[in-house]
Structure 1
Amino acid sequence: MTKFLLDSGDPDEYKQICSLAQKNNSEIWGATTNPSLIAKKLAGQKISSQKAFELQKQIVLEILNIVPGAVSAEVYADENTKAQDMVKQGLEIAKWHERIVVKLPTNLEGFKARTELRKAKIITNNTLVFSQEQIFAICLHERIIQKTFGPIDDLWPSFISPFVGRLDDIGLDGMTLITNAMKMKEKYGFNLWMLEASVRTLDHLRLGIEAKTELITAPGKVYAEWFSKSTNQQINKSTNQQMLKPIKYWEHPQELINIETIEGFMKAIESGKLNIKHELTDKGLVRFASDWKAIIQEEHKPLVTNLNI
């Protein structure tokens, strides 16, 4: 059964939407946060990088007291951030609570960081995902991690967050990426949870449930509309949804599925045989970094210092 998460950095909004869900015999199980949502809460205020990190912790801990499931907290990363910085942040974020899931960008440095964090038995959420090839890479990486370091006993599988709304924005049907991903997961027995993100419409919610997506995260206004409608309403695609171009199912080369080592995996990415690049991933990184930097009153420095790793 699909679990609902709220995409917000405002604990008060969690209380409101969770209450609304309960009145409709439903539940907001978890939460997703990101630098843009934290910056929105500050409403133009300027603080130090360390204060921003502490504010993120405070907000996440408040949200953990409201929802029963996972709360995703994102490392600060721009297009130049190295894996070591992400690992330092991720290790610190994971200490906040056992239900924390650490969000990482889906790029080469993000995969390097994912290797170290999964080795440390930290649940991760790959964000800014826009292609089936990226999803395949995350699933393959997880399979290699499990073979290399042994079975990891997590509260839940790690997450993958395809951004359906942003694909819609460029004329592609983001929901077909979800259905393609679920088909691929079933075909190869990949054990990760799909977290449908960038949800804008009731169509996104309905079709995600229909596709048996494990998790869906949406803003409060979408849930407010969802719970105001009859849950028995027929699932139909809107006219706008029908005008979008479907994303074709991507079939990987056989040599990729046979990769069994972290070294081989990284070489496949660096050589381009496994293409994890996407223009929207790059734009998303710039956007998140810009929102974060907008609240920082000093030149960017590592958000976490003096960690022993």
Structure 2
Amino acid sequence: MKFFIDTANLDEIREAEAWGILAGVTTNPSLYAKTGGKLADFENHMAKICEICKDIPVSAESTAETTEEMVAEGRRLAAIAPNIVVKLPICEASLPACHTLATEGIRVNMTLIFSAPQALLAASAGARYISPFVGRFEDCGEDGIEQLETVVTCVKNYEYGYWEQEGGPEIITASVRTPHHVTQAALMGADIATVPFAALKKCVHHPLTDKGLASFAADWEKVVNA
């Protein structure tokens, strides 16, 4: 399974990239707002991310509301760098926009997916990536992992002509909050997990690992001081 980082923070992206595990970056308006970024600097900020991550996909989300505006903004975003992926929220306006952009060779990440029918529609419209949410689904008292499994099974049942050479469409497990979410997504064959940096760091740690490291360090200290 590939690891994407879900952030617009340049320092977090640099650190994750240095780990050698980063396969992509996803952003959204909320994540960009957390950086303190301004509207006028948005596209420049996306360009900075793409400069850090030259050879991996970087999702930049459109805030347009109509099909025509989504297509226009998608083209503008895609022109920032070759690795930009246009992120669109699933809705009636975004499906034809996705189709238009896909036929032009522009990759789309369809986001805010909460059901299998939404995912199937996105795949049929030409989405390169499909992002079902786990954590937000669980906020409603539902089983986000079960819903993710349904989406993965349904989408993987079929072939889609748009991105066959790239192996798409790929399922991005989104709204990941815990290492458990990552484990379950991997078990069911989700292609990607996009993980906030705090949750990504949790994936590195385990209480027994931390205990073992502390024990090794204490024993080695005895050797040094012998």
TM-score normalised to the size of structure 2? Answer: 0.83
For 1:121-160, list aligned pairs within 5 A: 121-142=105-126, 158-160=128-130
Which sections of structure 1, spanning at least 5 residues, go unmatched?
143-156, 233-309
User: Which of 147, 151, 171 does residue 141 from structure 2 map onto?
Assistant: 171
Structure 2 residue runs without a partner (length 5+): 161-167, 210-226
Residue 72 (structure 2) pairs with residue 88 (structure 1): yes
Higher relative contact order (CA 8 A, sep 6+): 1
**Partner of 1:102: helix, strand, or coil?**
strand
Write the distance in 1 (CA, Å) between the matches of 2:200 and 2:206: 10
Structure 2 residue 34 is matched with structure 1 residue 40? yes
Number of the residue aligned with 1:241: none
**Among candidates 151, 155, 176, match of residue 185 of structure 1:** 155
Aligned with residue 106 of structure 1, among 77, 90, 113: 90
Q: 1:72 aligns to what SS in structure 2?
A: strand
Letter in 1 for 2:24: G
In 1, the alpha carbon distance for the partners of 2:62 and 2:131 equals: 15
| TM-score between both structures, scaled by the size of structure 1 | 0.61
Partner of 1:181: helix, strand, or coil? Answer: helix
1:219 is matched with which residue: 188, 196, 207? 196
Q: How does 1:235-274 map to 2 (within 5 A)?
A: none
**CA deviation after TM superposition for structure 1 residue 57, in Å:** 1.8
Shift of 1:167: 0.4
Q: Is 1:208–2:207 an aligned residue pair? A: no
Structure 2 distance, partners of 1:177, 1:99, is: 29
What is the Cα deviation at residue 38 of structure 1?
Answer: 1.1
Percent of aligned positions that are identical: 30
Alignment-derived partner of residue 294 in structure 1 = none
Greater fraction of residues in strand: 2
| Aligned residue-pair number | 201
